[in-house]
Amino acid sequence: MEEKIKKIMSDVFLVDISEINNNTSPEDLPQWDSIGHLNLISSLEEEFSIKFDDEQITQMLNFKLVVEIVKETLKQ
């Protein structure tokens, strides 16, 4: 799952997958702005057939948190 999320982030933010690690955040990727964040959310929701709530969306502050929130949402 982590590799799939890395691939999505790589595609959304137009960076090499090797640039994404647990600490990768909007501070590291200029494309991870408000529009980029919305594109990430919609791509994750589509790929995993899930829906995030507003709180989850605002908590996605780095790659590790994105993975945790996707896993948590899939369990619901």
Determine the average pLDDT of the residues in 60-73: 97
Task: Tell me how crowded residue 63 is: count the other CB atoms within 10 A of its CB.
Answer: 20
Segment 8-35 shows an average pLDDT of 96
- In this predicted structure, the answer to whether residue 76 has a pLDDT above a threshold of 90 is no
What's the predicted TM-score (pTM) here? Answer: 0.93
Distance from C-alpha of 13 to C-alpha of 54, rounded to nearest angstrom: 21
Provide mean pLDDT across the span 54-72: 97
Angle at 64 between CA 47 and CA 24, to 5 degrees: 100
DSSP H or E run through 54? helix 54-59
- Predicted pLDDT of residue 71: 97
CATH superfamily, region 2-75 = ACP-like (1.10.1200.10)
pLDDT at 22: 96
Measure the CA angle with vertex 51, ends 27 and 1; round to 5°: 65
The domain segmentation of the chain, as residue ranges, is 2-75
pLDDT at 43: 98
